Structure 1
Amino acid sequence: MSKRCTCKFHLYTKTQMLGTVVLMESVCPSSFPLACKKVVTVSEKHDLWLTKRRNSTRLGDGNATKSCRKFSMISSGRFAMKRIKHGTVASVTVGSLDSNPNYKKIQGDGSVKDRVSYGGSNSTTFMKMNEGIGVLNFIRGKNFFITGATGFLAKVLVEKILRTVPDVGKIFLLIRAENKQAANERLKSEIINSDLFKCLRQIHGNSYEHFMLSKLVSVVGNVREPNLGLEADVADVIRKEANIIVNSAATTDFRERYDVAIDINTRGPYLLMSFAKKCKKLELLLHVSTAYANGLVLLGKGRVMEEPLRIRRGESMAGENCINHETPASPYPTLDVNGEIKMALDYVDRDFKNKGLTRKMKELGLERARKYGWQDGYTLTKAMGEMLIEENKGDIPVVIVRPSVVESTYREPFPGWIEETRMMDPLILSYGKGELKGFPYDPKVVLDIIPVDMVVNATLAAMTRHGMAGKGDVDIYHIATSVANPLLLEDLASFVHDHFISTPWIDFEGRPIHVQPGKTFSSMDEFSADIWGHVIQRNGSATRVAANGKLPQKIESVCRKLVEKAKYLADIYEPYTFYAGRFDNSNSQRLMESLSEEEKKMFGFDVKSIDWKDYIANVHIPGLRNHVMKGKGLMPKD
């Protein structure tokens, strides 16, 4: 008996007769152990005749169709077969898929299967499909050049492309490494061997590594260096072959050294744009920014529009894309982007021998950001990067996608995959471990988070739409939820609490840690006092050892460290946990609506479909505990 296949994957197999493509979305039950094996066989042949006439379809001996929960055939031309469940033709109720589960109650468990109705016919039927924007046709055969290739978002993007469009061209991956051998080692260890790609491994079986190496090309380089640090011959190849450039290189550390953040997030896009202008076949440059690059938007109030950030007369300011009738004038001084870059780099040249330089540069980043109206050095340097792209793009078509807080996968390639702690995750884990009883935040503030697979789908749709248009404009897309499907911080706290009540963190002695509903604090003093009291209470027996009434040194040290950690987190997150701005996503909604129904199934990113309670409690936190914490704190399995 083979192991149960628990992942969802897509498989495409062309037919020579009808020009159709098969899409397999499978969660194979253990009662049909041959399903995955048959799928791999089909994938490897790539020339299997799926039909002998239009009115009947059979895959292999029929078992693979029967063994999979969902099966779709979609046409690369004018017709498409509807979904099949256990051999029957499915009729998809699209309206129910577009409903918002956070505002409208859905029967069942709220999963997609409860929102799909199935017909009873055993014969295959075809339906006329909306042509959509042609995502598959656009990506097919294209050569990509991707920076930040070993990062969280880029890896999910690469996985999606290879799984849905296996006949894509080459994907050149810019990897920081000492030499080609080291780059190849990173390619294997961080991408090919990553759990993220297990669905592709199941599809291709023994030929998986050969397939991956036939598509992925590691190139040694660094966006901080002229010509991206590429060797001359490698640079020539990419300039001749690249059709699409995706810039996802970034440092996302809120407290990064200011000079480092400027080098990667600001100068990096400028250097990449200079390289892109020499690419002979380039159709589009897509830059991954952040919705928070808009800044504090006039004290965090208003609706932030999908508009470019521009340098006007050599200067710019935070919040200029915000619609806010209450606060018409910005309280922040204007920003001289080029002057800011020079200042940071001169600072390093002047004090490079100073042992405290790293700390000073981190403090400088936060100081400059707060002065000019951004949350931190990360958002400020990302904003300046956008400004330099806008100023230097020339005739190159540019798309800028601005995701909000990117978190674990919602559905693809399987729910809950995440590689490292993201923005809200340290707080979630600290709460689950019993280290935090609460946090300073406004319960009515919306935290704008977005699953990474939705970001990837929106990215592919945006590059298709504007790559085919070929216009030398800058198009902006907020991939965000705060307008269409807002998640209040008080609801987030409730969902996190629900998870740790049902699946508590297990301490080193095997005891479950029982958490109480999180408190909210209006000041740092109140927050700090509560932490001190909590630690003393947990270690009450030890405090009685001190005859003079003072805390024992060990307990005091523990208290101090926890307070410092909590204060550090509170200071970092304050601009986000009290941020009242909302990110308009009208462009993204129109882009979503332009997709055909089949494209929506494959590349959909309807944020209204996110059930926040299910995602936070049953998808994201379990993914965090399994993939990042590697099962630490979970009850050992028998």
Structure 2
Amino acid sequence: MNQEFPTAPSRVLEQLAGKNLLITGTTGFLGKVVLEKIMRDVPTIGGIYLLIRGNSASPTARERFLTEVASSSIFGPQRQNSRARFERFCSERVHCITGEVTEAQFGLSDEAFRDLAGKIDVIMHSAASVNFRERLDHALSINTLCLHNIVALSELGGAIPVLQVSTCYVNGFNRGDIGETFHPPARADIPQDKDGFYAIEPLIARLQDKIDALASRFRNRALGEQLVLLGERESRAHGWNDTYTFTKWLGEQYLRKALSHKTLTILRPAIIESTLQEPTPGWIEGVKVADAVLLAYARQKVVFFPGKRSGVIDVIPADLVANAVILAAAEQVAEPGKLRIYQCCSGSRNPLTLGRFIDYLMAEAKENHMTYEKLFEIEPRKPFKIINKQLFNVSLFLLCRTLSTTESTLKLVGRNQPMRLLRNLNVMNKLAEIFAFYATPNYVFRNEQLLALAQRMGETGANAQFPVDAALIDWEHYLRKVHIAGLNSYALTDNKPNAKTPRRTTETKPGGLSSPQEAA
């Protein structure tokens, strides 16, 4: 786990000197961490162009940047260190483009789109919908079809390198060691052509036909519910747990073919959580995959959950992911013309089992719950139990069936209000539908190629400025003293999830999860 690589001089600042980056998704969690790191530690950068969708409160990209991004607490250390430098950087080198990633040419005129293409050296595409229960039409639009615009910009600018932020979970239901390559669908047999490209166009057309058929039968909320269910059915039928990971896989396959023999890097993070060290330990925005169940437990809504204690749950701090993005971009500038896949993960390098994850969090909750007043309203009264999925399903069924008539059942779960308990059981069921796959891992993600990249770029060892190695993490300290504190300080406000989640999230990464936030 603690293997060290020989350290060469860092090449990152040299390769990115004077370069202009286009970044999508900076109003989201990971996007902010990437932007903050570049602004702080890549002073040689030429310029940063941010594609940001306007909204009713902030009609222009610049307005939204100032109100939602530059004002974020993640930039607090920079403002404190030198407010003048921070404001000067934002004014002189951050260029905001008002546009929508899903619209043709981002909604820009031909001239503006051409002008943008002429200025950019690397495209960092981080925008996505990370709602695991997104409507299929929305998920396709944001996670797959909008990549036509990314490719068009790249081609117009003379093969601008594209860095696509994806997810390790595009590997779906595949089992065992999952390396940094393309893996076939675990269930459906999607045809491949003679060059090995999957025939995703006919598949997308069939999905669109099913979407249109539902649109002809349903309206408004009923239509939305049907499109969510369609996404879940199609995803699982083809070998993915949810609509998010299915549509991200489709996006990878589209880019693989469209940018064949061009410069494309696919960066796949695992479950992104709070920062390990920079710019401050524990910084996080919103409730992520691994936190939804913890938050529900803290609210006394969940006391048992389906999972596998011995399974490796792959969590990676956001600052390590941001560093991986920056390393990959620097490599694209230095050595263009290649397809690369990197996985930013911890499972093979510094494995954390679900059992240890739960034990560390529960120990901190029991011993120091009063320290985290926003997270824990009172001391948790019951231990959190991980049980197998079959037992969970049976237990949930029996509890729901007998709740209204059996007093002993009420005493068993420590409640004397049947309606409230039924709501809590519903929360457990909703969370299990989404997250049971992630709590019962039958896979281990590997990242030898990312570690080799760090070695080539001179970013290994104690003096690395852009570290990516999960071996740096002391899991007990991180989970007990960094992550929970970060949730309490940054993600939660007044005992409620931090921000009101918008209906569409086109600028967030894995994963700000609207459904679990509502459930918890």
| 2:492 corresponding residue in structure 1 | 629
Residue 579 of structure 1 and its aligned partner are, at CA, apart by 2.0
Task: Decide whether the 8 Å contact of 1:500 with 1:515 is kept in 2.
Answer: no
TM-score using structure 1 length: 0.70
TM-score using structure 2 length: 0.85
| 2:236 corresponding residue in structure 1 | 370
| Structure 2 residue 424 is matched with structure 1 residue 562 | yes
Task: Decide whether the 8 Å contact of 1:245 with 1:284 is kept in 2.
Answer: yes
Task: Decide whether the 8 Å contact of 1:177 with 1:221 is kept in 2.
Answer: yes
Residue 290 of structure 1 and its aligned partner are, at CA, apart by 0.4
> 1-side partners of 2:359 and 2:10: how far apart?
40
> 1-side partners of 2:101 and 2:121: how far apart?
19
| 2:18 corresponding residue in structure 1 | 141
SS in structure 2 at match of 1:614: helix
The one of 568, 577, 582 aligned to 2:439: 577
The one of 439, 443, 450 aligned to 1:588: 450
SS in structure 2 at match of 1:219: strand
Query: Which one is further off, 131-140 or 357-366?
Result: 131-140
| 2:360 corresponding residue in structure 1 | 495
Residue 431 of structure 1 and its aligned partner are, at CA, apart by 1.4
Residue 571 of structure 1 and its aligned partner are, at CA, apart by 1.1
Query: Which one is further off, 514-523 or 458-467?
Result: 514-523
CA shift in 2, pair 1:507/1:450, >3 Å: closer
| 2:30 corresponding residue in structure 1 | 153
> 2-side partners of 1:153 and 1:432: how far apart?
25
Query: Which one is further off, 423-432 or 413-422?
Result: 423-432
The one of 395, 399, 404 aligned to 1:526: 395
CA shift in 2, pair 1:511/1:276, >3 Å: closer
CA shift in 2, pair 1:200/1:237, >3 Å: farther
| 2:104 corresponding residue in structure 1 | 226
Residue 203 of structure 1 and its aligned partner are, at CA, apart by 2.5
| 2:499 corresponding residue in structure 1 | none
Letter of the 1:305 partner, please give it. Answer: G
CA shift in 2, pair 1:213/1:529, >3 Å: farther
Letter of the 2:269 partner, please give it. Answer: P
CA shift in 2, pair 1:213/1:339, >3 Å: same
Task: Decide whether the 8 Å contact of 1:439 with 1:520 is kept in 2.
Answer: yes
| 1:324 corresponding residue in structure 2 | none
Letter of the 2:383 partner, please give it. Answer: P
| 1:607 corresponding residue in structure 2 | 470
SS in structure 2 at match of 1:603: coil
> 1-side partners of 2:251 and 2:408: how far apart?
43
Provide the alpha-carbon RMSD of the alignment: 2.8
| 1:185 corresponding residue in structure 2 | 63
The number of equivalent residue pairs is 474
Letter of the 2:143 partner, please give it. Answer: N
SS in structure 1 at match of 2:123: strand
| 2:309 corresponding residue in structure 1 | 443
Residue 178 of structure 1 and its aligned partner are, at CA, apart by 5.2
Residue 463 of structure 1 and its aligned partner are, at CA, apart by 1.8
CA shift in 2, pair 1:521/1:598, >3 Å: closer
| 1:44 corresponding residue in structure 2 | none
CA shift in 2, pair 1:535/1:278, >3 Å: farther
Letter of the 1:575 partner, please give it. Answer: F
> 1-side partners of 2:329 and 2:297: how far apart?
39
| 1:334 corresponding residue in structure 2 | 190
Larger-gyration structure (1/2): 1
> 2-side partners of 1:516 and 1:306: how far apart?
41
| 1:8 corresponding residue in structure 2 | none
Residue 283 of structure 1 and its aligned partner are, at CA, apart by 4.8
Q: Which runs of 5+ in 2 are unaligned?
A: 192-198, 497-520
Task: Decide whether the 8 Å contact of 2:263 with 2:336 is kept in 1.
Answer: yes
> 1-side partners of 2:12 and 2:146: how far apart?
28
> 1-side partners of 2:331 and 2:10: how far apart?
6
Residue 344 of structure 1 and its aligned partner are, at CA, apart by 3.0
Q: Which has the higher helix share?
A: 2
Letter of the 2:482 partner, please give it. Answer: V
CA shift in 2, pair 1:132/1:195, >3 Å: same
The one of 418, 427, 430 aligned to 2:296: 430
Query: Which one is further off, 213-222 or 603-612?
Result: 213-222
Task: Decide whether the 8 Å contact of 1:133 with 1:464 is kept in 2.
Answer: no
SS in structure 2 at match of 1:259: helix
The one of 20, 42, 64 aligned to 1:165: 42
SS in structure 2 at match of 1:132: coil
Deviations 1:304-351 (A, max 9, x none): 111136xxxxxxx414xxxxxxxxxxx543365212322333334344
Once the two structures are superposed, the pairs formed by residues 232-381 of structure 1 within 5 Å of their partners are: 232-280=110-158, 283-297=160-174, 301-308=175-182, 317-319=184-186, 331-334=187-190, 336-352=199-215, 354-355=218-219, 356-381=222-247
Deviations 1:32-89 (A, max 9, x none): xxxxxxxxxxxxxxxxxxxxxxxxxxxxxxxxxxxxxxxxxxxxxxxxxxxxxxxxxx
SS in structure 2 at match of 1:504: helix
Deviations 1:354-411 (A, max 9, x none): 2311011111111011101111111110001000001100443111101111111000
Deviations 1:198-226 (A, max 9, x none): 11112322453232122212111122111
> 2-side partners of 1:296 and 1:339: how far apart?
22
> 2-side partners of 1:339 and 1:302: how far apart?
30
Task: Decide whether the 8 Å contact of 1:270 with 1:385 is kept in 2.
Answer: no
Letter of the 2:431 partner, please give it. Answer: L
Q: Percent identity?
A: 28
Query: Which one is further off, 488-497 or 390-399?
Result: 390-399
> 1-side partners of 2:23 and 2:411: how far apart?
52
> 1-side partners of 2:475 and 2:399: how far apart?
29
| Structure 2 residue 272 is matched with structure 1 residue 406 | yes
SS in structure 1 at match of 2:130: coil
> 1-side partners of 2:413 and 2:356: how far apart?
31
Deviations 1:470-513 (A, max 9, x none): 12x210001111111111000011011011112226889x9732
| Structure 2 residue 309 is matched with structure 1 residue 477 | no
